[in-house]
Amino acid sequence: MKRLSTFPWCLLLVSTVLFAAPRAVAGSLEIHWIDVEGGAATLILTPAGESILIDTGLPQRYQVERIHDHLRDVAKLKHLDYLVVTHYDLDHHGGAAPLSTMIPIRTVYDNGRFEKMVNDPGEKYFSFAAGNRVVIHPGDRIPLQGTAAAPAPVLRCVGTRQVFEQPPAGAVRNTAICKTLRTKSPDTSENANSIVLLLEYGDFRFYDAADLTWNLESQLVCPVNLIGEVDVYQVTHHGLSSSNNAAVVQCLQPTVSVMNNGPTKGCHPETFATLKTTGSIQAMYQLHKNQRPDGKVNNTEDEYIANTVKDTSGNYIRLSVDSSGSTFTVHIPANGHSRTFRSKSGRR
């Protein structure tokens, strides 16, 4: 499927501190998936040295300290340039206020207060220390810098608060896929307000839709595919079957999926089946081995899982993109795994 846009986008990478790996060479882009045990905390590090954290997990002290220690010890950060809070579920915004007492945050992007806000995060959230606060809208870009040797990554909001970008003029309608769409129960939760982000750097493209749910996801590809194809798919909503619309995954055609699940959260059978039957996917990564007590477990191979034991070890996944954006490598420092993939345009 031909991409509709040539704009670059940014997301967050995740990390923890117990198995710190050095940053890749200067000129690369990195994404770290920090383990917050079924919440979300994705850190993006740019070639120009800027940092973007997407979501902050739950407010439990040890989880917030894990994020902070990763920022300090793995990413070597003295401040956060940008924090994006995708929506107001506790496992996404809960760590923001306590994290702000541990490391300076220069700019916060979120949905602000709005009419259809289902969960009010409260005054503690809206008043925590930050240099600047910005309400994000569809089409907005986070203003990232380039270097003499590397272009600026582009991190763009494709949709939020149940509103999405308009398709470009002349865009081809996605008729065949749209005929196969099926719907699920209407979503009345805060997840419906999730910020959808697309990160581009050269040929490399990364997609993060937070916890956007099934019926709303379909608006990203019908009647027009607003995303195009991507290289890395952050599995939506921790792998729950109320998200990860099969038609969307089919349209995005990712090469790699990364699931920020917990030991007993996410990795639902329907989502796992969708990923397994998507022919473009060469590798499926998970932050945790799924170990639900009901025995209904679905897992990728252990080599591709950062945390295989049901404990709080907090191992992370790191992705590094080369300076041209033509290849990217996924690392799991805890087990020594490393695998390199070619970005889609680089394979043509």
Residue 12 within a domain? no
Q: What is the pLDDT of residue 223?
A: 93
The mean pLDDT of 92-100, rounded to a whole number, is 98
Band of pLDDT at residue 269, cut at 50, 70 and 90? very high
Residue 18 within a domain? no
pLDDT at 287 over 90: yes
Residue 152 within a domain? yes
**Structural domains of the chain, count:** 1
Contact 229, 8 (CB under 8 A): no
Mean pLDDT of the chain: 90
Residue 190 within a domain? yes
Residue 53 within a domain? yes
In this predicted model, what pLDDT tens digit does every residue of 139-174 receive, in sequence order?
999 999 999 989 999 999 999 999 999 988 878 888
The mean pLDDT of 289-300, rounded to a whole number, is 82
Supply the CATH number for residue 144's domain: 3.60.15.10
pLDDT at 254 over 80: yes
Residue 19 within a domain? no
**Beta carbons within 8 Å of 70's beta carbon, 6+ residues apart:** 14, 15, 16, 17, 32, 34, 43, 316
Residue 159 domain boundaries:
29-347
The proportion of the chain whose per-residue pLDDT surpasses 70, expressed as a percent, equals 91
Q: Which pair of structure tokens corresponds to residue 230?
A: 């991507």
Residue 187 within a domain? yes
Residue 177 within a domain? yes
